[in-house]
Amino acid sequence: NAGVTQTPKFRVLKTGQSMTLLCAQDMNHEYMYWYRQDPGMGLRLIHYSVGEGTTAKGEVPDGYNVSRLKKQNFLLGLESAAPSQTSVYFCASSHTGEQFFGPGTRLTVL
C-alpha cells in the first residue's frame, strides 16, 4: 500500500496563476482533508470531505476550492494564486480516528 500520495512535490507559481494539487489514498478511507502548514502555526484545515461527492469548509477555506469525484482522490484548487498562499500543503485521510498524512506539496507564489 502506498498510503497517501500527493502530486506535485514542489511548485512555483506567479501571482494570478491557477493550479490543482492531487491527493490519492489507497486505504479506502471515507474522510479526506487538506491542510496548510505555516511556520509557528501548526496545521490549519482548509477543506475536508466525508465521502465521495461531498466537500465542506474548514478553518481557512478562502481562495481554495476542492472536489472529491472519486473516493480515493481529493483535489485542491487555487483559481488565482496569491503570495499569501505560499505554504506547505498536506493531505490526510482517515476512517474515524487517526489521520494518515501525505508527504506534502511545497508551493511558492511569487
Question: Binding residue for other proteins (CB under 8 A) from 79, 103, 108, 110?
Answer: 103
CB 93 within 8 A of CB 31: yes
Q: Which residues contact 22 (CB under 8 A, 6 or more apart)?
A: 6, 7, 73, 75
CB of 58 to other proteins, least distance (A): 7
Binders in 60-89 for other proteins, by CB under 8 A: none
Interacting residues with other proteins (CB under 8 A): 4, 31, 33, 40-45, 48, 50, 56, 58-59, 90, 92, 94-104
